[in-house]
Amino acid sequence: MSIKFFPVIQDPNKAKFQRVLMVMNKPEWTDQNGIRHAVVVKTAIPNSLGMYTVDSDEDCAKEKLAVLRSRLKKGDLPIVGEFDNIEEAIKAERKVRPLTDKEKLLRVDQLERENEELKREVIKSQRKE
């Protein structure tokens, strides 16, 4: 069993991306022996972590991978991927997603603290000389 991860880049300024992708859509049909075959509809939906996942053991795994790889190649959806583990997928999504206002403020605070530390180090080194 292997799972592939395709994280969705969530923009905090927009609604959560939850697009349902059609993987397979076979209409109902009757064969020449009169046997009725039911409708088959398979979809891909991002999970609660905001990732499309494909388990190699699930029905239509090949078709789901093909659809996701195709959309990734087209670049028409905010997805990154394909990853073999969830940690890599989360890191990749966080690198490219827009920051929230709170994250921006925290980043500014962090940069200011680092700047103050560098100033102190420069002053100390100048005093020693």
Domain boundaries, the chain: 3-98, 99-129
Q: pLDDT (tens digit, 9 = 90+) per residue, 30-43?
A: 999 999 999 989 99
Angle 95-99-105 from CA coordinates, rounded to 5°:
125
pTM of the model: 0.72
Q: pLDDT (tens digit, 9 = 90+) per residue, 6-30?
A: 999 988 888 888 899 999 888 999 9
The better pLDDT of the pair 84, 11 is held by 84
Q: Are 79 and 5 a contacting pair, CB within 8 Å?
A: no
Q: Confidence class of residue 129 from pLDDT cuts 50, 70 and 90?
A: low
Residue 27 token pair: 């209409």
For tokens 């064969």, the residue is 31
